Amino acid sequence: MTKLAWLPLLFLSLPAFGQTDKMPQSEPPGTARTIAPSRDIMLHHQPTPGIVDQRETQQFGAPEVHRVHTKEQSEIDDIYADVMRRSNPPEAK
């Protein structure tokens, strides 16, 4: 037998030894998960902007949501104005 003949056997046996630590332990009967993931989560559906707004309103309240949205829009307007100011060519005199 050549020196390299044992090499395929080694590669075949490595996954069997390496997987024992990474394999999840089976759960005893009756302890299975009781919370099934929703279909949207399983399909990776993203919430619509309307749903996001509803959730934010429920979590933080309408006045806080309005304040944050107004602040974010003000920051966006300031950045836009700054970009437009910098991109205008200088006036010739």
| Domain definitions of the chain by residue range | 60-87
pLDDT range class, residue 78, cuts 50, 70, 90: very high
Specify whether the CB–CB gap between 75 and 63 falls below 8 A. no
| Stated pTM of the model | 0.45
Q: Which residues, other chains included, contact 39 with Cβ-Cβ below 8 Å and sequence gap of 6+?
A: 45
Q: How much is the mean pLDDT over the chain? A: 78
Q: What is the DSSP letter of 91?
A: P
pLDDT in tens, 25-70: 566 665 555 666 777 677 777 889 999 999 999 999 999 999 999 9
Angle at 69 between CA 67 and CA 71, to 5 degrees: 70
